[in-house]
Amino acid sequence: MHIDIRTQGFTLTPGLRDYVMKRLAYAFAHGEDHVTRLSVSLSDINGPRGGADKRCLIEVRLKQAPVVVIKDVEADLYVAIDRAAERAGRAVERRLTRQREFAPALSELTETV
């Protein structure tokens, strides 16, 4: 699994990079084998003006499945990372579960034809 972290409007510190990596490792602990690439984009939308403007966008590329994209905007960047990682992990888990449930039904259909 390849992880790409990008920032816009601020620099990526080693502490922030470690935090993102730990959150992603926790969120994708069960579906890691199916994930080929994770792209994380962190940005400060309003700059110094403040407000709920820290965005975390996570794009998950899966083997033999469509891309999962999750975006979260919060006042605190760490909260945005937490929520986006958690939501992305759940979305990937749901997609993989559906894929596993659909595969046996598809094989039964091809056997009867």
Question: In 3D, which of 69, 71, 72 has the Cα closest to residue 61?
Answer: 69
> Quick one: pLDDT at residue 66?
86
* Residue found by looking up tokens 């940005």 in the block: 43
Cβ contacts of 76 within 8 Å, gap of 6 or more: 54
**How is domain 2-112 classified at the CATH fold level?**
Double Stranded RNA Binding Domain (3.30.160)
Q: Are 84 and 57 in contact (CB under 8 A)?
A: yes
Question: Rounded to an integer, what distance in angstroms lies between the CA atom of residue 42 and that of residue 11?
Answer: 10
> Quick one: pLDDT at residue 59?
96
Q: Write down the mean pLDDT value for the chain.
A: 85
> Quick one: pLDDT at residue 24?
93
pTM to 2 decimal places: 0.82
Give the pLDDT confidence of 44-69 residue by residue, as tens digits.
Answer: 887 666 666 899 999 999 888 889 99
Give the pLDDT confidence of 1-23 residue by residue, as tens digits.
Answer: 789 999 998 889 999 999 999 99
- Domain boundaries defined on the chain: 2-112
